[in-house]
Structure 1
Amino acid sequence: MTPTTADRLALDDLVHRYTLLVDQRAFAAVGDLFTSDAELVLPDPPSSLQPTVEVLGREAVVTALGRLAGFAATFHAVVGRIADVDADRPDRATGRVACEAHHVSTADDGRAQDLTWYLHYDDEYALVDGRWLIARRALTIEVITTGPVRKVRS
């Protein structure tokens, strides 16, 4: 079922807030976007680009996402999103988010490089106390590229 305008706006905000908070390294705040019993399923690149590694519970999600702090910078750009509310359970929704995720690190030669994942999230959302939260997120990587970085803001 197509979400109401209010639900669509709230789900859009949730998706964009996630990416911005991750890039700001505000991992505890990112955790607040997940249900307490949330599931995050991650790939294990380069051996697997499919979601295979399960992380269960809000605290474990925060810990898993906290590993991104090891990069000099990250930048996540949402390039598309769809969502549908469950007709039988209007407090549940599913969605898919297309994203370009840049992860800047230092290469062996000391130069900055950009590890880019072109990915999508398959999401399940739950309406909890009037607020949409991520109940399950499975990340699939479609393409991985690397390239040079000219400058990183410090």
Structure 2
Amino acid sequence: MSGPALTPESADLVELRHLVHRYAGAVDDRDPAGVAGLFTDDGVLATAQPPTHLDPVEEHVGQAGVRAAMEQVLGLRGTFHAACGEVFTAGTDADTATGRIACEAHHYTDSPDGPRDLVWTVTYRDHYRRTPAGWRFSRREVHVGSVRTQTLKAVR
């Protein structure tokens, strides 16, 4: 049995959408602490290791673990995440929910041929929990659907 419906007018649905987009924004703003703060204290970020492993193979536990994982992004020239295709489902009670989020994630690097873009299509499989601070990720799994690279003419 699931909790109350997440209707288009639902305040919970609006907050869950904002949570997903705050995550993308914090990654792109190169803010590991900001990303970590979007997780529950015991939250888990389960990451893939493309191109070898497209499904999650490593778990980063707690806000400190999430922050450490996100600090790896600082080694890139930049990122751009376009989240779309958000599907949310109410959980077994009013304080839990799940989500499936489609995303195209761009990772900018430098190469001898000029700037490069490593592009992943990603499906996030999320579990959310309501906390006193609002909805947070209790688990976020990164499933990579495809990987491609391209040379760019310019990148910020």
**Which of the five TM-score ranges fits, normalised by the shorter chain?**
over 0.9
Structure 1: 4+ residue segments shifted above 3 A: none
Corresponding residue for residue 122 of structure 2: 119
Q: Give 1:150's aligned residue.
A: 153
Q: Of the candidates 76, 92, 95, which is equivalent to residue 91 of structure 1?
A: 95
Matches within 5 A, 1:1-154: 1=2, 2-4=5-7, 5-86=10-91, 88-107=92-111, 109-129=112-132, 131-153=134-156
Measured after TM superposition, the shift of residue 130 of structure 1 is 5.5
Return the alpha-carbon distance in structure 2 between the equivalents of residues 112 and 100 of structure 1: 18
Distance 1:65 1:120 in 2: 18
Unaligned ranges ≥5, structure 2? none
Shift, 1:73, TM fit: 1.1
Q: Quote how far apart the aligned CAs of 1:72 are.
A: 0.6
Question: What is the total number of aligned residue pairs between the two structures?
Answer: 151
1:15 deviation in Å? Answer: 0.3
**TM-score, L = length of structure 2:** 0.93
* Structure 1 unaligned regions, length at least 5: none
Provide the C-alpha distance between the structure 2 equivalents of 1:50 and 1:93, rounded to a whole number of angstroms: 22
Contact 2:40 2:137 in 1 (8 A): yes
RMSD between superposed Cα atoms in Å:
1.2
